[in-house]
Amino acid sequence: MNLLFLAIAFRAWRGPALSAFLRLMAAIATFSLELQLATWLHAGTLGSMRVINLAAAVAGVLWHANHRARAHRADADLEKDRKTLPVKSPPPAATPFGVAVIARFPPSPAIVGIALLIATLALLRPVIGADPYHLNRVDRITSIGTLAYDPAAADIKINALAGVYELMLADLRIPGSSTALVRFHGLFGLAFYLLAVGSVMPWLRVRRPWTLLVLLTIPVVFHQLVLVKNDLFGALPAFVALGWVVIRGRDMSWSEVVAAAALAGFAVGIKISSAPIALVVGAFLILDHGCRWRIAAGTLGAGVAGALAGGLGFALVENAVVYGGPMKPYLSLGNRHEHLADALVGVGRFAISLVDLGTVTPRIWPGRGGWGSTFGLPLVWGLVTLACHWRDPVVKRAVLAAGICLTVFGLTYPDADIAHRMVIAPALLLVVVGLGCVERDDRYARPLRAALIGVILLSALQIGRSAVLYLAGA
């Protein structure tokens, strides 16, 4: 309810997809900061914040209503002046010939179909977290109403690796009822995912909405919408930030630079493993816009602000208080390469997993921990498409940005090949840039589109198989 009130206050539905995405992110950031302060100051709870945020929603509605009324009065006065003054108004600018309508979302029947599948799974199966600590943290936030750590928690992940995402889930509980909308978290996640996709696609000028169906058939994304996990939630702001700096590049205004840096910082606040993505975003911004103090200060300040809104500062302080060091919980978790030879094997194993559809690495290197699904055929198609358009400057920037993120991940994380969920953002970037290449260059367009149809159909079958297995309790 808190997030709903803040979304109303920020009018999150206004404007194009990117504007709506940024307004929603502003609402999420505000809610997160509110609960962080309430926790530290002992001045409120999840329930009491509803009163404050309801007041903010009412104030926002009244302010915008007053703003509209003043705008209408100004238009009326201008119309009167036009009637009394013998001045011709200039003719409206003509729409340039050949400007196509830019597709932003996949076809609505496909969206309805995937939404019905997710809702059916939610109704027929219990709410399950991919890792138990997510739902444990949701229960704690719901019971005490704040983000305070539980010093008695047996699993350190409940405190150190869970925060804003779990707060969003806890806020889905309806006041006065035991019904939890968290059961339908996948539908909210799907809407958030589509909004992020709609934010990036206009920069690529994709004119065929059917090609965007591939973004609904990425296996690892589907699994994120079925099981409770925070990877997709943290990946979407990182995806928009990466797309912004890679595709827009030097054309970005100062306000765009600040917004992209804030999104990257927020992604790091959600999952500290996203730090390489934030560094890539910052490096691209400095590379494209120089080391001018305004750009550097805006990038750094917005990145820090985004990280604080994502809960990184809160987690570091609480880690120091509860565990004796800001980084101690993360270091104690282990699960990272300790020797250079292991890291090189790990990155090679991860590279194989990006194209083997989960069939090779589990056989050659069995017995590793973790869970997850692969990016599947959509990424394979994206990589082939980018290879066919290597001379395209956007392709080079995308491969460089995603390559750095994926390489660092493979070098540091032993289970990288079975944890594609942790690097959704750079992989999505490669796929959407591939879609843009097919639109800009006709040389390979026909065979690549034909291959894309097969990729969509086969990936849809793979998702259907996963749904059947999930219903069977496998």
Whole-number Å distance between alpha carbons of 213 and 107: 7
**Can you give the pLDDT at residue 91?**
43
Angle value at C-alpha 102, between 101 and 103, nearest 5 degrees: 115
Helices and strands (DSSP H and E) totals, the chain: 21, 0
**Can you give the pLDDT at residue 90?**
44
**Burial track 225-246 (b if 16+ CB lie within 10 A, e otherwise):** bbbbbbbbbbbbbbbbbbbbbb
| Nearest CA-CA partner of 398 in 324, 389, 472 | 389
User: Contact at 8 Å (CB) between 219 and 374?
Assistant: yes
What is the full per-residue pLDDT of the chain (474 aa) written as tens digits? 899 999 998 888 888 999 999 999 999 999 999 999 999 999 888 888 999 989 999 998 888 888 777 766 666 666 666 665 554 444 444 333 333 344 578 899 999 999 999 999 999 988 888 888 998 999 899 999 999 999 988 889 999 888 999 999 999 876 555 456 788 999 999 999 999 999 999 999 888 899 999 999 999 999 999 999 999 999 999 999 999 999 999 999 999 999 999 999 999 999 988 999 999 999 999 899 887 778 888 899 999 999 999 999 999 999 999 999 998 888 888 778 888 998 999 999 999 999 998 889 888 888 777 777 899 999 999 999 999 999 999 999 999 999 999 999 999 999 999 889 999 999 999 999 999 999 887 888 899 999 999 999 999 999 999 999 888 875
**Can you give the pLDDT at residue 89?**
45
Contacts of 12 (CB under 8 A, 6+ apart): 20, 23, 24, 27
Q: Is 84 exposed, middle or buried (CB count within 10 Å of its CB: 0-12, 13-18, 19+)?
A: exposed
**Can you give the pLDDT at residue 97?**
32
User: Does pTM top 0.85 for this prediction?
Assistant: yes
What value does the CA radius of gyration of the chain take, rounded to a whole number of Å? 23
| Nearest CA-CA partner of 233 in 274, 290, 279, 293 | 274
Q: Where are the alpha helices (DSSP H) in 108-230?
A: 108-124, 132-144, 157-160, 164-170, 185-204, 219-226
- Tokens 């009822």 correspond to 177
**Can you give the pLDDT at residue 73?**
67
User: Contact at 8 Å (CB) between 48 and 37?
Assistant: no
User: Contact at 8 Å (CB) between 169 and 129?
Assistant: no
Q: Kindly state the tokens that stand for 344.
A: 């090189």
**N-term to C-term CA, the chain:** 34
